[in-house]
Amino acid sequence: MQVTKGIHLEARLQKTTFTVLLVVAVVLVAWLSTHYERKADWTVNNRHSLSETSQKLLDELSGPITITAYVVKESGLRQPIQELVERYQRHKADINLRFVDPRLAIAEVRERGVQFKDELIIDYQERAEHLQTMGQGLSEQDLTSALQRVARTDNRLIVFLEGHGERSPTGSDYHDFSQWALALKNTGFYVQTLNFGKTVGIPKNTHLLVLASPRKKLLPGEINLIADYIDKGGNLLWFIEPTVPLPGLEAVADKFGLTVQPGIIVKHGQKQKISLSTTRKRILVGLWISPLPLSER
């Protein structure tokens, strides 16, 4: 009889212990679920995970990052932006995302220089980088490129000369270079305009000076500034309209030994010749009448 009572007591003790351990386990799991989050990506090609390039960049960034998205509340871009940033936050916890309706924060928009619809600003170590989505959504490549720019301490500056009827890097006309300028920004370059009437001289940290088809004649002093920039080893990208004479830039052309020749460029394999008068975007397409050394290389 004594044995039976002992066995009964031991069974009750085991049952009580099991119940206590089960309750503790349930409480522990509940606590862990509120403090830690683990997600697995089982999609094809891991499309909900960051690429190795993005992960490596985040590993190199020390300190918090703040991403401010100036997007109206009704916009369908808020959810995709949040989902994309969450992928970065899972790899770097101190990335903060805030949404601002630009209609309700006019003073902040003006102070921060927000110029475009659906624009983001990334703040990191007292530096800021603007990311313009142009209403086309946001990709991992866009955001990672912006993070690379804001993390970079050097300044790869591309300067567009303006004030002479040039194609604008910020204009919206079909002949302007706004899309190209946006692509440059998204690949790590800084783009700004330069008007010799407002600023004397070309910035010393200029990586590239762009003459985007000036139509009005440049002043002798302006030409001297450009020539001096070239003499000091500066890089120049010069667009010339085939139907517009050089606006006083013959001296610059002479430095390179350049002469403007008449002719039409064609796309290889294109049978139909397209002239300037029939192309709205002024794309030169055509066939060289005689081969040039440059085209043979």
Mean local confidence (pLDDT), 42-68: 82
Residue 103 shares a structural domain with residue 144: yes
90-141 residue pLDDT tens: 999 999 999 999 999 999 998 888 877 889 999 999 888 888 876 567 889 8
Residue 195 shares a structural domain with residue 230: yes
In a domain, 96, yes or no: yes
Q: How many domains does the chain have?
A: 3
List the CATH number of the domain containing 247.
3.40.50
Residue 295 pLDDT grade (very low, low, confident, very high; cuts 50, 70, 90): very low
- Is residue 293 pLDDT above 50, yes or no? no
200-248 residue pLDDT tens: 789 888 989 999 888 888 888 999 999 899 888 888 888 887 777 777 7
- Is residue 66 pLDDT above 90, yes or no? yes
148-200 residue pLDDT tens: 888 876 667 899 999 998 999 988 888 888 888 887 876 668 889 999 988 87
The reported pLDDT for the residue numbered 269 is 55
In a domain, 27, yes or no: no
The reported pLDDT for the residue numbered 81 is 93
In a domain, 22, yes or no: no
In a domain, 9, yes or no: no
Look-up of token digits 């369908």: 76
Q: Between residues 145 and 264, which one has the greater pLDDT?
A: 145
Residue 221 shares a structural domain with residue 280: no
Work out the mean pLDDT of the chain and round it to a whole number. 77
| Domain end among 151, 172, 199 | 151
Residue 57 shares a structural domain with residue 104: yes
| Domain end among 93, 126, 151 | 151
Residue 223 shares a structural domain with residue 280: no
In a domain, 21, yes or no: no
The reported pLDDT for the residue numbered 43 is 47
- Is residue 147 pLDDT above 50, yes or no? yes
Residue 68 shares a structural domain with residue 86: yes
Q: Which domain holds residue 97?
A: 51-151
The reported pLDDT for the residue numbered 197 is 86
The reported pLDDT for the residue numbered 45 is 47
Look-up of token digits 């903060």: 96
In a domain, 244, yes or no: yes
In a domain, 16, yes or no: no
